[in-house]
Structure 1
């Protein structure tokens, strides 16, 4: 691991993924093993993307896992719509494994309160209102709710 030597710091979440992968391999848990391998590959791809390789921070690893979980959810829906129940179930199971590494999602009431609080210091007039509001809301939510839910709540509170 050249990246570890260069930066010296490593995400605790990434450490946990690697430790859990070794445990799953020893237990011969095929689902968890393949899911964590896929997740770690996505994290490593994100680390080497761009001009210079770097180690991801905790929030960045969490964002990668959130993206991977969303991919599994969307794939499960697509498989189910195509009548491929077995593949859809596999995707849901993989999403379940990944969700275990993510913070719990906010309830609708919690999301409403956090978005309302985030919008208090934001100029919500003019053309850029939605963008500024989303930036403030996403920062306050910090990955504890999907972007679509946050956007819907921001639109509702802005009256758009």
Structure 2
């Protein structure tokens, strides 16, 4: 079952369970997917749907941190709840050790020696770790290893 079908089934079950918060998030995801399909003029496949969901998670993480910094914990908690629903549709996230191993392997594969080679290594890592790791964390790990 692809992700769009899974979203549709989960929307129906959220309606039956009268889970308003979960239903609202699923509807929001479906709206974002449909908007992207209209913008692109094509039907999105699973990797493209994952990219939409990842973008939504990233936006909510940014909003959550801004709300916490501003002392608006109730809004930050709402963002965190949306993140937990969205993460259900993403593949399992890699551990820190797995990210470090992937970074080390990519450095060896590309022959990177300094920060000038960071773009080349990040290009490989982005395709390899898509949906499995927060690329900001991967970037931080890579910077630490290249310095």
TM over 0.5: yes
Alignment correspondent of 2:36: 46
Structure 1 runs, 4 residues or longer, greater than 3 Å off: 125-128
Listed one character per residue, the Cα deviations across residues 2-24 of structure 1 (whole Å, up to 9, x for unaligned) are xxxxxxxxx70111011101111
User: What is the aligned residue count?
Assistant: 147
Deviation, structure 1 residue 135: 0.5
Q: Is the 8 A contact 1:35 1:98 kept in 2?
A: yes
Measure, in 2, the Cα distance between the counterparts of 1:73 and 1:127: 27
Which structure is higher in helix share? 2
Alignment correspondent of 1:106: 94
Measure, in 2, the Cα distance between the counterparts of 1:122 and 1:129: 8
Alignment CA distance shift 1:101-1:91 (3 Å): same
Alignment correspondent of 2:11: 21
Q: Structure 1 regions of 5+ residues with no counterpart?
A: 1-10
Listed one character per residue, the Cα deviations across residues 45-80 of structure 1 (whole Å, up to 9, x for unaligned) are 221224xx1111111111111111121122122222
TM (norm. structure 1) is 0.83
Listed one character per residue, the Cα deviations across residues 68-97 of structure 1 (whole Å, up to 9, x for unaligned) are 112112212222222222221111111110
Q: Structure 2 regions of 5+ residues with no counterpart?
A: none
Deviation, structure 1 residue 138: 1.4
Cα RMSD (Å) of the superposition? 1.8
2:109 maps to 1:121: yes
Q: What SS is found at the alignment partner of 1:156?
A: helix
2:140 maps to 1:152: yes
Q: Is the 8 A contact 1:119 1:137 kept in 2?
A: no
Measure, in 1, the Cα distance between the counterparts of 2:39 and 2:111: 34
Alignment correspondent of 2:57: 69
TM (norm. structure 2) is 0.90
Alignment correspondent of 1:82: 70
